Amino acid sequence: MTQAITEIKAAAPAMTVMTENCLCSYTHTGECYLPGPSGRADVPATIAALAEQAVAQADAGADIIGPAAMIPGAVRAARAALDETGHAATGIMPHLILDSRLYDLYRAAMGAAPASGDVRAFQGNPARPREAVATGLAFVAEGAGTLLLEPALLTTDILIALKAACSVPLAPFSVSGEYARFAPPDGRDWRLLTEVFTMLKQAGAAQIITYAAADLARTLG
């Protein structure tokens, strides 16, 4: 990832680069955490590794770091590590992730299914929105400057609640499973996705992250 960040910044210095800060691509089990001797998450070791990764991404030129492991304390550790290494201006946008079958296409394409099963250890339960809101507020207390919520459509009620409870910008992420289901097969009629994103905007989204960004920009422009 650091090589990609460096090349993007060299080609387009003004472009804002946001990263995903997680370990799932680097563990042999595909889990978001480093395992301890018992096989369970070694939380302190994982948090330390995530903080190092955040600094490496910022050193490469990332503007916003995106902690995605959903581990309590990881945002605070990343913020402290960035501040201590001269990256106080680098933002932190933790991912508030709900478990969903909308990730199936991505996991199949990337070979990213965790060895422990479909549900990652620290992801939220869509049936427990209050817990998700509490998690989001905890991220803000740890130093988050923005919150990313995914999958976008499953987090609308959480988006509304967080909008009323905190002042940081909220950014729903419309994941690949949503894109696959709502994007027009012929690439022409983008009205359905426009309706979906208008609803998210009305619910409190400051911005929306989507694979359809370029297509919608051309359509709405």
Number of domains in the chain: 2
pLDDT at 116: 66
pLDDT at 27: 82
Residue 120 pLDDT level (bands cut at 50, 70, 90): low
pLDDT per residue as tens digits for the range 7-59: 999 999 999 999 999 988 888 787 788 888 887 889 999 999 999 999 999 99
The region of weakest confidence among 17-26, 170-179, 206-215 is: 17-26
Do residue 196 and residue 156 come from a single domain?
yes
Residue 217 lies in a domain: yes
Whether cis (ω within 30° of 0) applies to the bond prior to 126 is: no
pLDDT at 183: 92
pLDDT at 98: 93
Do residue 86 and residue 179 come from a single domain?
no
Long-range Cβ contact pairs of 152-156 (< 8 A, separation 24 or more): 152/178, 152/196, 152/200, 152/208, 152/210, 153/178, 153/196, 154/98, 154/100, 154/102, 154/126, 155/96, 155/98, 156/199, 156/200, 156/203
Do residue 67 and residue 20 come from a single domain?
yes
Domain that holds residue 40: 1-92
Residue 121 lies in a domain: yes
Do residue 126 and residue 77 come from a single domain?
no
Do residue 158 and residue 206 come from a single domain?
yes
What percent of the chain has pLDDT above 70? 94
Q: Is 179 exposed, middle or buried (0-12, 13-18, 19+ CB in 10 A)?
A: middle
Do residue 126 and residue 219 come from a single domain?
yes
pLDDT at 38: 82
Radius of gyration (Cα) for the chain, nearest Å?
17
* Tokens read off for 8: 């993007």
Residue 99 lies in a domain: no
